[in-house]
Amino acid sequence: MQKQSFVQTTTATFPPIFLVGMMGSGKSYWCKAIVEHLQIDGIDLDAHIEKLYQQSISAIFYEKGEVFFREIEAAALRTFGVKKILL
């Protein structure tokens, strides 16, 4: 009997998955890996913000400060339907 993968045998919908961690901890890497493995849509929030503001996250931090970045980060999460943000 041939073993089938989980992705091929399920029709379940997945609740949102949030990866939280320090800068450089691998969130983007794992986001891509999870999206590919589960064949679901995924969003790298930092990449979304960088595209929206046409600046790197580090440039936003340097030029506008962490408070500003956290505000636009929260606003970006809300655009994707996240109502409560726990920090």
pTM over 0.85: no
Q: Is residue 61 within 8 Å of residue 49, measured between CB atoms? A: no
pLDDT of residue 51: 95
**Which of 7-16, 43-52, 66-75 has the least mean pLDDT?**
7-16
Give the tens place of pLDDT for each residue, 15-46: 777 888 888 899 889 988 988 888 888 888 88
Better-predicted residue by pLDDT, 86 or 31: 31
CA distances from 82 to 11, 17, 20, 35, 75 (A): 24, 11, 14, 19, 9
